[in-house]
Chain A
């Protein structure tokens, strides 16, 4: 059974940092690209970042480029998102999502985790 379990969400002040993690099981992690997708409470979906199976390709939405860094540890079946210089408009549920391919270029989000809530507020 595929499982994606996010953690690390919290209430944080503007300008501070937070690191999200996603523990993966149930499939061969290092065969697939992975992504982070976020959803502000009551709002729509926004793709945040994606990483290829071997970390050779990492891409970001314009809204987070330069502030967020995606990474993965294939030995630990783990995906991470380091978020720096957080802003109020980063407040959202952050979902870890599995792609159907090894490269994150034309993603299909075939499976989603339960999400972790990040609240940026003073």
Chain B
């Protein structure tokens, strides 16, 4: 069971807007830890999509955006395209864990209808 909770799946039609939630607690997101998002297209390796809650690396379309509030974060995708079909993971830091505290969400599979 992941420290960060994501819905197992979300779906949307082309052109629509979808959001993926990442719910944490007072020891991670609620404590102010940054949230990062990764996209894993089918059969490929993860790619950094959003870092520091709401920043896009060079080359990531502005259709992708991130936000954070309280103990949760969200990834929003507008103008949904077929090529967005992928698994999405959130990642943050949890101060209550031994070791380094690096945590991932369980992942969300986005299906474009």
Contacts and interface: CB of A to CB of B under 8 A. Distances in A.
A50 B105 CA distance: 18
Nearest to A35: B102
Interface of B: 2, 33-34, 36, 38, 45-48, 51-52, 57, 89, 91, 93, 97-100, 102-107
Contact of B45 (A61, A65, A105, A113): A113
A110 B102 contact: no
A112 B45 contact: yes
Contacts, number: 60
Given A60-B99, A62-B99, A109-B38, A45 B48 contact: no
25 contacts: A37-B46, A45-B46, A45-B91, A47-B100, A47-B103, A50-B100, A59-B99, A60-B99, A60-B100, A61-B99, A61-B100, A61-B102, A62-B97, A104-B100, A106-B34, A107-B100, A108-B51, A108-B52, A109-B38, A109-B46, A109-B48, A110-B51, A112-B46, A113-B45, A114-B45
Given A44-B89, A44-B107, A45-B107, A107 B102 contact: yes
A38 to B, nearest CB: 11
Contacts of A62: 97-99
A95 interface: yes
Contacts of A44: 2, 89, 104-107
Which secondary structure characterizes the binding site on chain A?
loop
